[in-house]
Amino acid sequence: MTDQAAVPPLGEDVDAEILRVHARTALATARTRTALLTDSVDDHDLTAQHSPLMSPLVWDLAHIGNQEEQWLLRAVGGLEAMRPEIDGLYDAFEHPRASRPSLPLLPPAEARIYAADVRGRALDVLEGTPLHGGSRPLVRAGFAFGMIAQHEQQHDETMLITHQLRSGPAVLDAPEPPRPTDAAGLPAEVLVEGGPFTMGTSTEPWALDNERPAHRREVDAFFIDTAPVTCGAYRRFIEDGGYGEERWWAPEGWAMVRAHGLSAPLFWREDAGQWLRRRFGVNRTGASGRAGAARELVRGGRVRPMGGQAAADRGGVGEGGPARPRVGPFAPLPLG
């Protein structure tokens, strides 16, 4: 770990207290999501490995706290290590996910206490750290605090995937997203003219080194769909034999289809003429036309039966209730 982060002198025109408020908000928002994903299941689910592709949820929880301790308490605050003996346990490079259940991990209650204790001290460090004028690159404009908030958000995403892979009752839910723009009058696709564009940034103080600096790139013209592919449209691709025709697949994709005998997306299966989709470990009817399977996952918890072809085309229908939001551009989601 080093204090020589590649952070240019940005954010000097932003008041330090505004930066602190922004950092506190980002840290609190991420922690609220972490609590939702870890408090919604019991200790057995927290310590279980629901897939060899994923860590036990309790590993993610303590890893979040350990990274925060190493960067904000030790590197920024210059404080003594709280739990140096666990650094190796929560080193993501040292231990592949499949091996993590065999490690002597902190139990859930201890992991929660540890992460909360680290957070309290980190907020104290934030209050006493100069963010402008002569400040170190790691803390200039609050960079390290933003980096740790982003790191926790990344683990919130992986924990959400773990929830999708676990067995048992659905435990997540979220309010409906804002109603998107109705795409009924839009063309199927639009042409994006080619030309130069600016990639990256030289002004965002919390950008990582692989996002810097801003630079010009040329892009050829291309067509893009005006709305996400709906589950109903993809269902028709399956029913038309799309998984049996090589012409629709890139070479790597076709090789995977053949090697694993795939005939539908993961978590989809057909039963008695109706498609079922497993969501958060529960099989429900509902591989319908709602746009974006991943967006369905983020909303959490509830799947509705397909409402016929018209419902599938427009985005799905609830059980005897009004239709789900129509296909179109989406606003940010509560958990996304």
Please give the average per-residue pLDDT across 291-306, as a whole number: 32
Q: Quote the distance between the C-alpha of residue 293 and its chain's center.
A: 14
Top-confidence range, 5-14, 63-72, 176-185: 63-72
Residues in the chain: 336
Residues 61 and 105 sit within 8 Å (Cβ to Cβ): no
Please give the average per-residue pLDDT across 97-110, as a whole number: 96
User: Mind listing the pLDDT tens digit for each residue in 74-90?
Assistant: 999 999 999 999 999 99
If phi over 0 gives left and psi between -120 and 50 gives alpha, with beta otherwise, what is residue 215?
A: beta
Give dist(CA 30, CA 287) in Å, integer.
30
Q: Quote the distance between the C-alpha of residue 114 and its chain's center.
A: 24
Indicate if the pLDDT at residue 116 is higher than 90.
Answer: yes
Indicate if the pLDDT at residue 301 is higher than 80.
Answer: no
Q: What is the pLDDT of residue 177?
A: 57
- In sequence order, what DSSP letters do the residues of 244-275 get, joined into one string? G-GGGS-HHHHHHHHHHT--S-TTEEEETTEE
Please give the average per-residue pLDDT across 119-133, as a whole number: 92
Residues 91 and 84 sit within 8 Å (Cβ to Cβ): no
CA dihedral 240, 243, 245, 248 (to 10 degrees): 90
Could you tell me the pLDDT band of residue 161, with boundaries at 50, 70 and 90? very high
Comparison of pLDDT for 320 and 164, the residue scoring more: 164
Give dist(CA 101, CA 49) in Å, integer.
7
Could you tell me the pLDDT band of residue 303, with boundaries at 50, 70 and 90? very low
Q: What is the pLDDT of residue 305?
A: 28
Please give the average per-residue pLDDT across 165-187, as a whole number: 73
Indicate if the pLDDT at residue 234 is higher than 60.
Answer: yes
Give dist(CA 142, CA 125) in Å, integer.
11
Indicate if the pLDDT at residue 319 is higher than 60.
Answer: no
Tell me the pLDDT of the chain averaged across its residues. Answer: 81
Please give the average per-residue pLDDT across 219-248, as a whole number: 91
If phi over 0 gives left and psi between -120 and 50 gives alpha, with beta otherwise, what is residue 320?
A: left
HSE at residue 13, side-chain half, CA atoms within 13 A, is 2
The helix/strand count (H/E) of the chain reads as: 9, 7
Please give the average per-residue pLDDT across 157-162, as a whole number: 94
- In sequence order, what DSSP letters do the residues of 273-335 get, joined into one string? TEEEEEETTEEEE---S-B-HHHHHHH-S------HHHHHHHT-B-SSSPBPPPSS--PPPS-
Could you tell me the pLDDT band of residue 274, with boundaries at 50, 70 and 90? confident
Instruction: Please state whether the peptide bond connecting residue 265 to the residue before it is cis, i.e. omega within 30 degrees of 0.
Output: no
For 140, residues 6+ apart whose C-beta sits below 8 A from its C-beta are 7, 9, 10, 11, 131, 132, 205
Residues 168-191 as b/e (b if ≥16 CB within 10 A, e otherwise) read: eebbbeeeebeebbebeeeeeeee
Give dist(CA 129, CA 184) in Å, integer.
52
| pTM of the predicted structure, to 2 decimals | 0.74
Q: What is the pLDDT of residue 227?
A: 84
Could you tell me the pLDDT band of residue 285, with boundaries at 50, 70 and 90? low
Q: CA angle at residue 177 from 317 to 310, to 5 degrees? A: 20
Could you tell me the pLDDT band of residue 175, with boundaries at 50, 70 and 90? low
Which stretch of 149-163, 261-275, 317-331 has the lowest confidence by average pLDDT? Answer: 317-331
What letter would DSSP give residue 101?
G
Percent of the chain with pLDDT over 70: 76
What letter would DSSP give residue 156?
H
Please give the average per-residue pLDDT across 178-191, as a whole number: 77
